[in-house]
C-alpha cells in the first residue's frame, strides 16, 4: 500500500527549493512508499509556489490554499480582504481550504483576535460555497472555534484539525462536528500526556497522520523534519494502541481517501 502525508509544507522556503533537492526529497519519500502530500496553505505567495510544485509533481502534490492565522495577525484588514478575494479565485483548483482557523497564543495574537475571527468565518463561507474540506489550525482557541461552527455550521465536506495536541474531550467535540483529527510528531513526546491519552481512546476512523514538515519533528529527529517522519508517528501510535505501525499508516490512507472522496 502507498501512504499519505496528510499535511506538510513543500512550498515553505525552509524546505529544499532547487529542482535537484526537491527531486532527492521526493525520492526519499517514494522509497518509503509515501507518494502523496497534502499541502498546508498560508499566504498568497505560498499558494503560487504550491501551484509550481504541482506542475512538476502532478500525481504527488495536493493543493490546499488558505489564509493562516499567522498571516492574518501580521497583515492589515485591507490586505487580508484582497488575499481573500484571491483565495476565492484560486480555490476551485485546490483539494481543500486551509490552513484556516484561530491562534490565540499571546505572541501571535497581538491585537488580531477580531480580524482572525472575521477571516475564519469568511473562509468557512468559502469552503461551503466551493464544497471544499477545511484544514484547521486552532491553537489556544478551540472553544471559540467550536462556538463559530455552532453558529455558522461546518462545511458539508468537513475536514481535519491539523497538528492536534489537545485532550480527548476536545478532539471528540470536533469529531462530533464531523472533522478528522490529524496527529504529528508531538505524540512521540512523553510530556504530551493529553494528546497521548487522546490517541489511546479516540476512534481510529477519525485519525490522520501528518509530518507538518519542515516543522514539528518527532522526538530524536535530526535536522528539518521530512514526510518520512510519519513512520515514527505511526510507530508511536501503534505502541499506544497495541497495533502495528503499518495498520496505523493504512488507516491514515483509508481515512484520507474517505475525506476526499467525491
> Following DSSP, what letter does each residue of 157-180 receive, concatenated?
T-EEETT--S-HHHHHHHHHTT-E
Q: Is 7 marked as binding a ligand?
A: yes
For the domain made up of 67-259, the CATH class stated in words is alpha beta
Task: Quickly count: other Cβ atoms within 10 Å of residue 110's Cβ.
Answer: 10
Does the model's pTM come out above 0.95?
A: yes
Q: Is 162 marked as binding a ligand?
A: yes
Q: Is 78 marked as binding a ligand?
A: no
Task: Quickly count: other Cβ atoms within 10 Å of residue 134's Cβ.
Answer: 29
- pLDDT tens profile 172-227: 999 999 999 999 999 999 999 999 999 999 999 999 999 999 999 999 999 999 99
Taking the C-alpha atoms of residue 152 and residue 78, their distance in angstroms, rounded to an integer, is 24
Q: Could you tell me the residue ranges of all domains in the chain? A: 67-259
Lookup result for grid cell 505572541: 107
* Cell of residue 170, nine digits: 476536545
Question: Pick from 259, 186, 166, 179: which is nearest to 229 by CA?
Answer: 186
For residues 230-238, average pLDDT: 98
Beta strands in the chain (DSSP E): 3-8, 34-39, 61-62, 64-65, 96-103, 134-139, 159-161, 180-183, 207-209
Report CA-CA distances (Å) from 164 to 84, 137, 248: 25, 9, 17
The per-residue pLDDT for 17 is 87
192 CB contacts (<8 Å, ≥6 apart)?
A: 165, 186
* Cell of residue 248, nine digits: 496505523
Question: Pick from 95, 36, 40: which is nearest to 61 by CA?
Answer: 36
Confidence of residue 262 (pLDDT cuts 50, 70, 90): confident
Distance of CA 16 to the CA centre of its chain: 20
Report CA-CA distances (Å) from 94 to 8, 15, 68, 90, 196: 15, 21, 16, 7, 32
Q: Is 79 marked as binding a ligand?
A: no
- pLDDT tens profile 18-48: 999 999 999 999 999 999 999 999 999 999 9
CB 56 within 8 A of CB 95: no
Taking the C-alpha atoms of residue 173 and residue 246, their distance in angstroms, rounded to an integer, is 28
Rounded to the nearest integer, the mean pLDDT of the chain is 97
Q: Is 9 marked as binding a ligand?
A: yes
The per-residue pLDDT for 16 is 87
The per-residue pLDDT for 37 is 98
Amino acid at each position: 500500500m502507498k501512504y499519505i502525508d496528510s499535511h506538510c509544507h513543500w512550498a515553505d522556503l525552509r524546505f529544499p527549493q532547487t529542482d535537484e533537492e526537491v527531486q532527492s526529497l521526493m525520492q526519499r519519500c517514494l522509497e518509503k512508499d509515501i507518494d502523496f502530500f497534502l499541502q498546508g496553505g498560508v499566504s498568497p505567495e505560498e499558494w503560487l509556489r504550491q501551484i509550481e510544485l504541482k506542475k512538476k509533481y502532478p500525481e504527488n502534490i495536493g493543493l490546499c490554499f488558505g489564509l493562516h492565522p499567522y498571516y492574518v495577525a501580521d497583515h492589515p484588514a485591507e490586505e487580508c480582504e484582497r488575499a481573500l478575494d484571491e483565495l476565492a479565485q484560486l480555490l476551485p483548483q485546490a483539494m481543500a481550504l486551509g490552513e484556516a482557523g484561530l491562534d490565540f497564543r499571546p505572541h501571535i495574537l497581538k491585537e488580531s483576535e477580531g480580524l482572525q475571527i472575521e477571516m475564519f468565518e469568511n473562509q468557512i463561507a468559502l469552503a461551503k460555497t466551493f464544497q471544499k474540506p477545511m484544514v484547521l489550525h486552532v491553537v489556544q482557541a478551540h472553544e471559540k472555534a467550536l462556538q463559530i461552527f455552532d453558529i455558522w455550521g461546518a462545511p458539508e465536506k468537513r475536514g481535519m484539525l491539523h497538528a492536534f495536541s489537545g485532550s480527548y474531550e476536545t478532539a471528540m467535540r470536533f469529531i462530533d462536528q464531523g472533522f478528522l483529527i490529524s496527529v504529528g510528531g508531538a505524540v512521540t513526546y512523553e510530556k504530551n500526556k493529553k494528546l497521548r491519552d487522546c490517541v489511546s481512546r479516540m476512534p481510529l476512523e477519525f485519525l490522520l497522520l501528518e509530518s507538518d514538515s519542515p516543522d514539528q519533528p518527532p522526538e530524536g529527529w535530526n535536522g528539518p523534519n521530512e514526510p518520512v517522519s510519519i513512520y515514527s508517528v505511526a510507530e508511536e501510535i501503534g505502541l499506544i494502541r497495541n497495533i502495528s505501525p503499518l495498520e496505523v499508516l493504512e488507516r491514515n490512507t483509508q481515512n484520507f481517501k474517505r475525506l476526499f472522496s467525491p
